[in-house]
Amino acid sequence: MTTTPHSPASRRALLGAAAAGTALAAVGLPAPRAAAATGPTPAPAAPAPVPLPPLDPAALHAAIGDLEHPPATAAQLQVSGSAGRWYGTSGVADLRSGRSVRAGDKVRIGSITKMFVATVALQLVAERRLCLDTPVRRCLPGLLPARFGTVTLAHLLGHGSGLPDEQGVPHLSTPEKVFAHRFDPWTPEQIVAMVTVGDRELKFAPGSKQEYRGINYVLAALVVERLTGRPYGEEIARRILRPLGLRDTSVPGDERRIHGPHVHGYLRMSDGGLRDITEINPSGSWGEGEMISTTDDLTRFTHALFSGALLPPHVLRVMFTMPPDDVRMVDGGPARFSTGLQTVTVNGVTFWGKTGEQYGYASFAFATRDQRRCMVLSFNPTQRDRSQEQMSLRVANAVTGGA
């Protein structure tokens, strides 16, 4: 993700495009891209599936067992699918008690929240209550200025909006400043106001490029609320969590604590000591990254989504359709986002899903389109920098049989 220390993305954003996603894509070749994701046009026929190696428990244990690279307090990995299953943990859930990580321990999943928001938005599209080419300004009257009138729902879900950078947020350049602001309350309207302040224009024509931005999903969640008349978290619970029995997944709002068994997150301070940063006010992440879940619930959600349990086939295809080849990331690299998902190719195996991060927490949930292999990782890095890629790369390699 391209951010500055002053942007809200620097507190809420994930490994996403700039860390885990980019690192995973670098393991293999970029994933193949199909036609524009603005309608139900099916993608070209998929190539024959790449053979998947059998799972190697020793390699998987080693991948999550190294808690020095990056420095982390815990890790857990769940691999599922028709090509094999495995679950393992390392480290401790709580440094004070020394309790080991257990299956079912909750974690903050950051931007994996976006997968849930996109699914609900696309359900509204399937119900013909919304169109992908609907201008966002029409759904949210009075919230966006007229100069942003060409931004559509598809642009939000595919990170192609071109919205300006946020202005006027706290400077979080040190871990001490992160702690000082960890309980700050936010409303989605306040978050949106940081991109609409002044007379700044769009950074690029919507749909012409991609730039990973959390504000896109704050707006998408607001669209869900305006159309349904209910908080977006209630819609996620009503449409996804309760039907799938995801009892350990929640949209916390401004609730600071993680209720029930959970893994603690820690942040290394400037003096080298660790401080518990499990409790935060997640309202600053809102529709882009506030949710709490478990590796088991994320596995079940990913399989249900990919199998068509949540979306009809013609809408589900949109999630697996990449933009045209001439659409690039703002840094010039190939596009990495479809409508609601991120794609990476590791050792020739193409995965779809999402990465996620909050301070003290990092996760990803990816699966092959045919669900032969799904990998859900959660770990707890104690510092926020590119060293986090090391865990993601080790796991991705182990799951796909790489070096």
DSSP H helical ranges for 3-152: 9-12, 20-26, 57-65, 113-126, 136-139
pLDDT digits over 102-138, tens only? 999 999 999 999 999 999 999 999 999 999 999 999 9
Whole-angstrom CA distances from 25 to 5, 32, 69, 343, 383 are 25, 12, 20, 8, 23
The SS3 assignment for 75 reads strand
> Which pLDDT score is estimated for 47?
59
Q: What percent of the chain is predicted at pLDDT more than 70?
A: 88
At residue 45 the predicted structure's pLDDT band, cuts being 50, 70 and 90, is low
Architecture of domain 9-400: 3-Layer(aba) Sandwich (3.40)
How large is the average pLDDT for residues 344-353? 96
At residue 173 the predicted structure's pLDDT band, cuts being 50, 70 and 90, is confident
At residue 344 the predicted structure's pLDDT band, cuts being 50, 70 and 90, is very high
Q: Tell me the C-alpha distance between 256 and 254, whole Å.
A: 6
Are 285 and 110 contacting, i.e. CB atoms less than 8 angstroms apart?
yes
How large is the average pLDDT for residues 87-104? 97
> Which pLDDT score is estimated for 46?
54
The SS3 assignment for 239 reads helix
pLDDT at 38 over 50: no
pLDDT at 13 over 80: no
Are 256 and 294 contacting, i.e. CB atoms less than 8 angstroms apart?
no
pTM for this model (two decimals) = 0.90
At residue 51 the predicted structure's pLDDT band, cuts being 50, 70 and 90, is confident
Q: Could you tell me whether strands 349-358 and 274-276 are parallel, antiparallel, or unpaired per DSSP bridges?
A: unpaired
Q: Tell me the C-alpha distance between 44 and 36, whole Å.
A: 12
Q: Tell me the C-alpha distance between 172 and 178, whole Å.
A: 5
Are 327 and 402 contacting, i.e. CB atoms less than 8 angstroms apart?
no
95: number of Cβ within 10 Å? 14
> Which pLDDT score is estimated for 126?
98
> Which pLDDT score is estimated for 84?
96
Residue appearing with tokens 């619930």: 297
pLDDT at 164 over 70: yes
Q: 243: which residues sit within 8 A by CB, 6+ positions away?
A: none
How large is the average pLDDT for residues 335-364? 97
pLDDT at 1 over 50: no
pLDDT at 30 over 80: no
35-49, 193-207, 281-295: which has the minimum mean pLDDT?
35-49
> Which pLDDT score is estimated for 3?
33
pLDDT digits over 272-286, tens only? 999 999 999 999 999
At residue 21 the predicted structure's pLDDT band, cuts being 50, 70 and 90, is very low
Whole-angstrom CA distances from 287 to 106, 167, 179, 249 are 19, 19, 22, 14
**Angle, CA 74 vertex, CA 54 and CA 179 arms, to 5°:** 140
Written as six digits, the tokens of 180 are: 């000082």
At residue 313 the predicted structure's pLDDT band, cuts being 50, 70 and 90, is very high
Mean pLDDT across the chain: 89
> Which pLDDT score is estimated for 121?
98
pLDDT at 338 over 50: yes
pLDDT at 174 over 70: yes
